[in-house]
Structure 1
Amino acid sequence: MKVLNKTLSMRAFTLVELLVVIAIIAILASMLLPALSRAKGKANQIKCLSNIRQLNMGLQMYVDDHDDHFPPRISGRENWLTSLKPYYVLSSVVKCPSDGFSANHGFLINGFNDFFATRLSKEEFETWKWPIGMKMAYIPEPSSTITFGEKRKGSRHCHMDFYQDEGNDVKEIDQSKHGGDSSDSGGGANYTFVDGSVRFMKDGTTMRPENLWGVTYQFRKVLPNLDRTGSGG
């Protein structure tokens, strides 16, 4: 009888040990999973940064080859994706890994429409009849003027136009694509600039205290999250 009791006691102790080990593993997993998720998110952000840098390099080469002009916007069919295609090797550079296969591109180029608003007729401006792209020389602050930004999932836009008669494209930009969401101030996104630099910027910092999408001094000081009326042309 004593031998039987001893055997049962050993079996019970082994079961308790197993349960303790399982509990420890569960605790460790709960601690490690967020860290792994953050690491994956950081890797995605770095890959996105690499892709957007390559796009910006292609844009700079395009400008060099076209008398200092950015790609034109004659119609919806002719956009920067078409114009810059000869300047990047892999089509995968036009989006982030997290954008998935359904998205054909994950970035928006600066439409520079505050510049064109003062130089085109109302009809030209409102129907996107811009025969040539803006000249780089018209940008007064190359180191703080955005060329590309990351767009939100599901957006069908190609350009960032914060000033265009009805509405604007601020909602098309995902300012917290990495490390947070729209309600998380810790999030941010990758941006490229006219001078060739690439930066990760916190949510909201491209709009305030200065609008880094603007190329005219007037609209660099305007908060582009408000709808505006009038063509300005």
Structure 2
Amino acid sequence: MKVLNKTLSMRAFTLVELLVVIAIIAILASMLLPALSRAKGKANQIKCLSNIRQLNMGLQMYVDDHDDHFPPRISGRENWLTSLKPYYVSSSVVKCPSDGFSANHGFLINGFNDFFATRLSKEEFETWKWPIGMKMAYIPEPSSTITFGEKRKGSRHCHMDFYQDEGNDVKEIDQSKHGGDSSDSGGGANYTFVDGSVRFMKDGTTMRPENLWGVTYQFRKVLPNLDRAGSGG
């Protein structure tokens, strides 16, 4: 009888221990999960920064190959990302890993030109007579002028066809955040600039006029002079 009681006591004690261990694990998990979530968010931010840097490097190579001109705005399914495709290795660079939306690209693109163009080789570009993309020399503050940024979560609009008198595009960049919302954004987003630099900017700091460029010359404050008609858009 004593042996049986001792066995039951050991079983009961083991069950109590198990419950204590489970409780401790639950407490530790509740403490660690936020830290793990932040760590994952930071890792995604670093990966995103790498992706957007590669896009901007591709843009710089395009500019070098096209007489210091940025890509023009192109109609239909063509856009900057298509124009730059020969300059980046993998299509995965066009989307931030924090972006769970189904759209296949996740970065804002600044400064689309408001003229159409066809698919041009480097040789065709050199003899092209129609208006072409923005020229590097027309941007007086390249270290402050945004080229790429992160789009707002849940939006398929990944461009900034920027008309300063209208609100939609302003809201689009104003709401762009890393991870897509204020809870996991780190309070800002990654941006690249005309001079090739890449940095994380806090929310509310990207809307200064020097960071933006419009699609038509009357809105584009970075163009004090145009040395030929139509060259700036």
- Fold shared, TM-score > 0.5 on shorter chain: yes
SS in 1 for 2:225: coil
Q: Deviations over 1:137-186 (max 9, x none)?
A: 11111111111011123433342134265433133337563367247884
% same residue: 99
| Residue range with higher mean Cα deviation, 18-27 or 168-177 | 168-177
Q: Write the mapping of 1:6-17 to structure 2, written as runs, cut at 5 A.
A: 6-17=6-17
Counterpart contact for 2:148–2:192, Cα < 8 Å? yes
Distance across 1 between alignment mates of 2:225 and 2:172: 11
Flag structure 1 segments of 5+ consecutive residues without an equivalent: none
Report the CA distance shift for 1:101/1:117 in structure 2 as closer, same or farther (over 3 A): closer
Alignment partners' CA distance in 1, 2:57 and 2:31: 40
TM-score between the two structures when normalised by the length of structure 1: 0.75
In structure 2, C-alpha distance between the alignment counterparts of 1:201 and 1:101, rounded to whole Å: 22
Query: Secondary structure at 2:181's aligned position in 1?
Result: coil
- Report the Cα offset of residue 122 of structure 1: 30
Aligned-pair distance for 1:23?
A: 0.4
Q: 1:98 to 1:108 in 2, by over 3 A?
A: same
Structure 2 distance, partners of 1:110, 1:157, is 12
> More displaced, 49-58 or 87-96?
87-96
C-alpha contact 1:170 1:225 (8 A) present in aligned 2: no
In 2, the alpha carbon distance for the partners of 1:125 and 1:91 equals 25
2:178 and 2:189 in contact (8 A); partners too: yes
Relative to 1, partners in 2 of residues 1:117 and 1:103: Cα closer, same or farther, differing over 3 Å? Answer: closer
Q: How many corresponding residue pairs? A: 233
Distance in 2 separating the partners of 1:152 and 1:91: 20
Q: Is the 8 A contact 2:153 2:179 kept in 1?
A: no
Who is 2:70 aligned against? 70
Deviation at 1:117, TM superposition (A): 18
Alignment partners' CA distance in 2, 1:221 and 1:182: 31
What do residues 64-123 of structure 1 show as CA deviations (whole Å, max 9, x unaligned)? 111111111142433102211111121111111233583221112112679999999999
Say if 1:108 and 1:148, in contact at 8 Å, map to a contact too.
yes
CA separation of 1:79 and 1:188: change in aligned 2, threshold 3 A: same
Greater mean alpha carbon deviation, residues 87-96 or residues 191-200: 87-96
Distance 1:219 1:56 in 2: 24
Cα separation, partners in 2 of 1:112 and 1:165, compared to 1, 3 Å: same
State how far apart, in whole Å, the 1-side matches of 2:86 and 2:119 are. 29
Q: Distance in 1 between matches of 2:96 and 2:213?
A: 21
Larger deviation, residues 150-159 vs 56-65: 150-159
Say if 1:126 and 1:165, in contact at 8 Å, map to a contact too. Answer: no
Where 2:16 maps in the other structure, the secondary structure is: helix
- SS of residue matched to 1:213: coil
Query: Match of 1:149, SS?
Result: strand
